[in-house]
Amino acid sequence: MVEDALALLELDAVASGLRALDALVKQAPVRVLEANLVEPGRFLILLCGAVAEVDEAVGAGLRAAGPAVLHHLLLPMAHPALLRGLRGHTLREDADSYDCLGVIEGGAIAPALLAVDRALKDADVRLCGLRVAGGLGGRAYAVIAGAQHDVEEGLATAEAQLRAAGALHRIERIARPHPDLIPFLLRPAPFALGREA
């Protein structure tokens, strides 16, 4: 299955989320990566597939959910690292290889994913990992790495995206991270989105 499009629906109720999930999988052949409850009492549906099919499925899900939709996102050509990050993959390197780290934290999941996607596409940075997890209060965060000027460019892009969406929570740059920080960089998430090898 072609998986060059990524989509997310965030709903305010489990019942509406399940109805939307049923509608979208009936509409088109897509792969649901996760459909589950996230804090604070929201239902998240994450799916991927070919652009046309994902577009059709999202439309059906939005129609079925109606006013229960809080946020939605359709990324027709999602950066490949974003999908790997959502599956729980992390990029671990020796502490000496990190020149600079950037932390992108969005106040809502869909705008955060869009901001990370733009940062990866617009700057020469690597995605260390991404967390959409219980305990974040409906937020999501990602860690990027690269040369300091590239990380600053990626963070500026992400910040602009999040501000435009009214979803900026925090953006931080960590130059020359200490080796003791690295083991705590991306702790295992209590809620992992369909981890695959």
Residue with tokens 């996102």: 73
Rounded Cα distance between 115 and 142, Å, is 10
Q: Do domains 5-75 and 80-184 have the same CATH topology?
A: yes
Q: Does domain 5-75 have CATH number 3.40.710.10?
A: no
Lowest-pLDDT range of 5-9, 41-45, 143-147: 41-45
How far is residue 81's CA from residue 36's CA, in Å, rounded to a whole number?
Answer: 22
pLDDT at 94 over 80: no
At residue 190 the predicted structure's pLDDT band, cuts being 50, 70 and 90, is very low
Q: 56: which residues sit within 8 A by CB, 6+ positions away?
A: 27, 28
Q: What is the pTM of this model?
A: 0.84
pLDDT tens, position by position, 37-70: 887 788 999 999 999 999 999 999 999 999 999 9
The domain spans of the chain are: 5-75, 80-184
Tell me the CATH class for 80-184. alpha beta
Cα pseudo-dihedral 84, 79, 106, 162, rounded to 10? 180
pLDDT at 95: 65
Among the listed residues 106, 28, 95, the one whose alpha carbon sits nearest the alpha carbon of residue 71? 106
3-state secondary structure of 119: helix
pLDDT digits (tens, 9 = 90+) for 99-135: 999 999 998 888 999 999 999 999 999 999 888 866 6
Q: Which residues contact 22 (CB under 8 A, 6 or more apart)?
A: 64
Find the mean pLDDT for residues 175-191. Answer: 75
List strand residue ranges (DSSP E) for the chain, in order: 5-11, 31-38, 42-49, 69-75, 100-106, 126-132, 140-146, 168-175
The pLDDT value recorded for residue 186 is 72
